[in-house]
Every structure is written in structure tokens, then in C-alpha cells.
């Protein structure tokens, strides 16, 4: 057993100066909430909203009607989704009504009993509409200010298309007709909670030139509206911010000349390791023959060394452990304890505690894999230094006879 321990120690001592010159740090990341283009799943960031308010219709002869008499109610129901904090879409249905004026008795919604005071031939015109629509939305605050989960106000601009049915007051519903709508507006959204928004919406719509059926093809048939409503947002309501690595400053420990020397020593170490592996293979064969006859207290101690922050066995260590396993199987009545160590110069206490356990378990599992009866084995950890001269040699696990 001494020969195997000596070979392992030689490997560690040869590489230790290089390891001591290096430092390791855990990769750290932080969420970056300022990213503008964040994308959640398809079922995230949906909402439903309902609103109502007043609207004013603009057609060719409406300037002859008192403005207060042109005000009419309207309402809207929408389902929407934000695909990113900036871009969203919504679909919905609008109810609109219009109070207008016309000289044409054939016009849509003509009120025969609605002669306007001060005129001999100008009459009221009233009609309604129910119109599904689709809109594209852009959050201007997130676009120019970046996304923030704590922001309480958003300004959204939108534009879209609608197509629906209109019917006239005091006329059969079936005498109505279908018309198109181009629409656009602004939504002032106040976030009163994670789930609830209060919206103040300003909208302008352009309808078919023939909507009023007044026989005039011009820029009229506009409607301006102002609505107030409430929106309920379904889970998930926020956005998963991407994480970015925290790059800590690197302070060089060596000059260029010293670095070149270390590279040369590393190459030399690699060459030496190849030679040592051949020596270990030969030593294993001799160890297997001598183990059964060796004194238990002297022969039952093995130290396996690990790379920094590692608990896996390399090929050289596996051959050493296999030789130990062969010796254990030759004396099945002897009990052994596998103890894990970690150096205190690197890593946190919690990390090193986990590393000690993983190193002991790694050797334990390899022994069992090579045929050692698990009843012969126990595992333990030890926080004391294994080697008082060089903490690098504390990165190890030992196998000892239970006395």
C-alpha cells in the first residue's frame, strides 16, 4: 500500500505548484430586467378588458347640429395578449351609436320626425353598429424606457381593422348593412395591481364612405370616442428576464515570463504523468499479490487525490482503487472506512462539506463496482487538514481499516 500512496503523492506534488497558482470562482449571473425584447410562453400575458364611454360622429352635415346632441354611447369588449413587453395584439367587438344630421330622406337612419330646429329640411340621423375588430399594439413606455415590473403607467398606441353590421333606429334590423372600419388610438393604462389595470382610451375610426348613405364620397364618416374601462390580466403576468453573467475583474498573478514557465512545467507534468501511469499499472499487480499477506494496519490505508473542486476519479485513480478492491475481497472479514476531505483555502464551508461527502461516495461506489461487499464499507467526512504542509493535498479521500 505504501507504494501506491507514494505514486499518488508524487502526482499531487508535481501538479500542486500549478494548482496553487490558480483560483476558481463560481459562475455568477444576475437577471437583467431592462431588456426590451422578452418572450414568455404562448399562454402567458393574456388579458380581458371591458370599457364604455362617449363618441361623436363626423359626417357631411353634422356641423349644423348642436355638438352636445351629437354625443352618443359606445362600448367595447377585448381579449388581448402581449407577445413581448413592447408588442401585443387584441381582438374584440365594439358597440357604436351615432347621432348625426342629414338633408337626404333616403339616408341610413333618417328620422322623419326629427326636424332640426332652425332648418326646413335638415333632419336627425341615428344608427348603431356591432363590429368585431383586430388591433396591433405598441407599448411606447417600454419601447423607449425599457421594461420595468414596477412601472404603474403605460402609454399604448394601436391601429387595426374592423368589419361589422349596422342598423338604423326606427327601421327594421334586417334592413341594415355591413361596413368596414379603419381604427387607431391611444390607451392610457394605470396598473393598480398585478392583475388589474384601469384604462383610459382615446380612439378615432374611419368608416365606409357609404355608411350614412348620403351619396357623398369624401373624408367624412369619422368617429372620435373616449372610453374608460378595466382590464384583468391572467397568469403569467410578468416577464422572465434573461440572465447575464457577472464578469469579475481578473487580476494577473504572474508575469508573462512566469506564465510561460508554468506552461512549460505543465507540459513536463503531463509527460511525467504518462510515465507514472505505466508505473502504477505495474505496482497494482504487485500490490494485489502482497495485500493478502500484509499487516492489516499497514496495508489497509490508501489516499486518493482529486482535482480542485472535483469528486470524480480519473483513470489512474480508478486503477489504484481497483487494486485496493482486490485486496479487500481477499479478506472479506475486514471492515473499512472511506473518509472524504477538502481543502479550506478554496470554496465556501457549505460547498466543501458537500465536496467531502461526494469524494467519499465516489470512492465507495467505485469499490462496490469492483466487487467489494458493501457490508465491509462505511463512509465519513473529516474537516481537519489531511496534510499540514500543503493544503492542496487535502483534496483527497482515504481508505482505512476500522480497528
- Give me the mean pLDDT over the 308-326 stretch: 91
Last residue of a domain, one of 213, 243, 273: 243
pLDDT (tens digit, 9 = 90+) per residue, 23-71?
444 556 666 655 545 777 888 999 999 999 999 988 777 877 888 888 9
* 246 vs 92: which has the higher pLDDT: 92
pTM, rounded to two decimals: 0.51
139 has pLDDT over 90: yes
Contact 232/47 with Cβ under 8 angstroms?
yes
Which pLDDT does position 24 carry in this prediction?
A: 45
pLDDT band at 214 (very low <50, low <70, confident <90, very high): low
Which pLDDT does position 299 carry in this prediction?
A: 42
Shared domain for 334 and 391, answered yes or no, is: yes
Shared domain for 272 and 312, answered yes or no, is: yes
C-alpha to C-alpha distance for 194 and 236, rounded to whole angstroms: 10
The whole-chain average pLDDT of the chain stands at 82
8 has pLDDT over 70: no
Of 87-91, 242-246, 251-255, 365-369, the poorest mean pLDDT is in: 242-246
Spacing of C-alpha 129 from chain mean position: 44
CA angle 250, 256, 260 (to 5 degrees): 115
pLDDT (tens digit, 9 = 90+) per residue, 187-200?
999 999 989 999 99
Which pLDDT does position 103 carry in this prediction?
A: 81
Contact 308/344 with Cβ under 8 angstroms?
no
Torsion of the alpha carbons at 133, 138, 140 and 141, rounded to the nearest 10: 100
7 has pLDDT over 60: no
- Give me the mean pLDDT over the 216-237 stretch: 82
Q: Look at residue 33 and tell me if it is in a domain.
A: no
pLDDT band at 399 (very low <50, low <70, confident <90, very high): very high
pLDDT band at 300 (very low <50, low <70, confident <90, very high): very low
Shared domain for 222 and 259, answered yes or no, is: no
Q: Quick one: residue 126, left, alpha or beta (phi over 0 = left, psi -120 to 50 = alpha)?
A: beta
Which pLDDT does position 347 carry in this prediction?
A: 87
Question: What CATH number has the domain bearing residue 271?
Answer: 3.30.1330.60
Last residue of a domain, one of 203, 225, 243: 243
Q: Look at residue 322 and tell me if it is in a domain.
A: yes
C-alpha to C-alpha distance for 120 and 114, rounded to whole angstroms: 11
- Give me the mean pLDDT over the 286-301 stretch: 52
C-alpha to C-alpha distance for 377 and 402, rounded to whole angstroms: 9
pLDDT (tens digit, 9 = 90+) per residue, 347-383?
899 999 999 999 999 999 999 999 999 999 999 999 9
Shared domain for 230 and 260, answered yes or no, is: no
Which pLDDT does position 160 carry in this prediction?
A: 96
Contact 159/171 with Cβ under 8 angstroms?
no
Contact 340/380 with Cβ under 8 angstroms?
yes
Q: Look at residue 31 and tell me if it is in a domain.
A: no
C-alpha to C-alpha distance for 339 and 341, rounded to whole angstroms: 7
Contacts 24+ apart (CB under 8 A), 290-299: 291/1, 291/323, 291/326, 291/327, 291/330, 291/331, 292/327, 292/330, 292/331, 294/1, 294/327, 296/331, 296/334, 296/401, 297/401, 297/403, 298/1, 298/2, 299/1, 299/327
Q: Look at residue 384 and tell me if it is in a domain.
A: yes
pLDDT (tens digit, 9 = 90+) per residue, 202-212?
999 988 765 66
Of 15-19, 258-262, 311-315, 382-386, the poorest mean pLDDT is in: 15-19
Residue with cell 337612419: 109
Which pLDDT does position 294 carry in this prediction?
A: 45
Spacing of C-alpha 86 from chain mean position: 17
168-177, 258-267, 277-286 — which one is most confidently predicted on average? Answer: 258-267
Total number of domains constituting the chain = 2
Neighbouring residues of 311: CB distance < 8 A, sequence distance ≥ 6: 355, 358, 359, 361, 362
C-alpha to C-alpha distance for 298 and 287, rounded to whole angstroms: 13
Q: Omega into 272 within 30° of 0, i.e. cis?
A: no
Last residue of a domain, one of 219, 243, 267: 243
Which pLDDT does position 100 carry in this prediction?
A: 84
Domain residues for the domain of 79 are 46-243
114 has pLDDT over 90: no
16 has pLDDT over 80: no
Query: How many Å is the Cα radius of gyration of the chain?
Result: 41
* 394 vs 208: which has the higher pLDDT: 394
C-alpha to C-alpha distance for 322 and 340, rounded to whole angstroms: 18
- Give me the mean pLDDT over the 250-257 stretch: 75
Cell numbers standing for residue 206: 374611419
233 has pLDDT over 60: yes
387 has pLDDT over 50: yes
Residue with cell 463496482: 369
C-alpha to C-alpha distance for 325 and 315, rounded to whole angstroms: 15
Q: What percent of the chain has pLDDT over 90?
A: 43
340 has pLDDT over 90: yes
C-alpha to C-alpha distance for 129 and 149, rounded to whole angstroms: 38
Shared domain for 55 and 10, answered yes or no, is: no
| Main-chain dihedrals φ then ψ at residue 179, nearest 5 degrees | -150, 160
Strands 196-207 and 222-233, sheet pairing: antiparallel
- Give me the mean pLDDT over the 162-184 stretch: 84
Of 143-147, 167-171, 195-199, the poorest mean pLDDT is in: 167-171
Which pLDDT does position 335 carry in this prediction?
A: 93
178-182, 312-316, 338-342 — which one is most confidently predicted on average? Answer: 338-342
Q: Look at residue 40 and tell me if it is in a domain.
A: no
Strands 222-233 and 46-58, sheet pairing: antiparallel
Question: What CATH number has the domain bearing residue 184?
Answer: 2.40.160.20
Shared domain for 59 and 198, answered yes or no, is: yes
Contact 353/361 with Cβ under 8 angstroms?
no
325 has pLDDT over 70: yes
Amino acid at each position: 500500500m505504501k507504494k501506491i500512496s507514494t505514486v499518488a503523492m508524487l502526482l499531487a506534488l508535481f501538479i500542486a505548484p500549478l494548482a496553487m497558482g490558480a483560483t476558481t470562482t463560481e459562475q455568477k449571473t444576475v437577471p437583467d430586467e431592462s431588456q426590451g425584447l422578452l418572450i414568455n410562453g404562448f399562454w402567458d400575458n393574456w388579458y380581458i378588458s371591458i370599457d364604455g364611454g362617449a363618441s361623436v360622429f363626423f359626417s357631411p352635415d353634422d356641423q349644423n347640429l348642436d355638438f352636445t346632441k351629437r354625443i352618443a354611447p359606445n362600448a367595447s369588449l377585448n381579449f388581448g395578449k402581449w407577445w413581448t413587453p413592447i408588442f401585443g395584439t387584441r381582438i374584440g367587438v365594439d358597440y357604436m351609436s351615432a347621432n348625426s344630421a342629414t338633408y337626404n330622406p333616403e339616408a341610413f337612419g333618417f328620422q322623419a320626425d326629427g326636424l332640426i330646429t332652425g332648418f326646413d329640411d335638415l333632419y336627425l340621423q341615428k344608427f348603431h353598429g356591432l363590429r368585431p375588430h383586430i388591433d396591433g399594439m405598441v407599448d411606447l413606455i417600454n419601447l423607449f424606457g425599457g421594461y420595468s415590473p414596477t412601472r404603474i403607467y403605460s402609454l399604448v398606441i394601436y391601429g387595426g381593422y374592423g368589419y361589422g353590421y349596422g342598423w338604423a333606429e326606427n327601421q327594421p334590423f334586417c334592413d341594415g348593412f355591413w361596413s368596414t372600419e379603419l381604427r387607431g388610438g391611444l390607451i392610457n393604462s394605470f396598473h393598480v395591481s398585478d392583475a388589474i389595470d384601469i384604462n383610459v382610451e382615446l380612439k378615432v375610426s374611419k368608416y365606409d364612405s357609404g355608411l350614412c348613405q348620403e351619396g357623398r364620397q369624401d373624408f367624412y364618416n369619422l368617429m372620435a370616442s373616449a372610453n374608460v374601462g378595466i382590464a384583468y390580466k391572467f397568469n403569467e403576468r410578468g416577464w422572465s428576464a434573461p440572465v447575464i453573467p457577472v464578469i469579475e475583474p481578473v487580476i494577473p498573478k504572474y508575469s508573462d515570463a512566469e506564465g510561460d514557465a508554468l506552461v512549460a512545467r505543465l507540459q513536463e507534468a503531463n509527460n511525467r504523468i504518462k510515465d507514472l501511469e505505466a508505473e502504477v499499472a505495474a505496482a497494482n499487480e504487485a500490490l494485489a499479490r502482497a495485500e493478502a499477506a500484509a499487516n492489516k494496519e499497514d496495508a489497509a490505508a490508501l489516499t486518493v487525490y482529486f482535482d480542485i473542486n472535483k469528486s470524480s476519479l480519473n483513470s489512474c485513480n480508478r486503477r489504484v482503487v481497483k487494486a485496493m478492491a482486490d485486496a479487500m475481497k481477499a479478506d472479506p472479514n475486514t471492515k473499512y472506512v472511506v473518509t472524504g476531505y477538502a481543502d479550506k483555502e478554496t470554496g465556501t464551508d457549505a460547498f466543501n462539506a458537500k465536496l467531502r461527502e461526494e469524494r467519499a461516495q465516489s470512492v465507495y461506489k467505485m469499490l462496490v463496482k469492483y466487487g467489494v461487499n458493501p457490508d465491509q464499507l462505511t463512509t465519513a467526512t473529516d474537516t481537519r487538514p489531511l496534510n499540514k504542509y500543503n493544503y492542496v493535498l487535502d483534496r483527497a479521500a482515504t481508505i482505512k481499516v476500522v480497528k
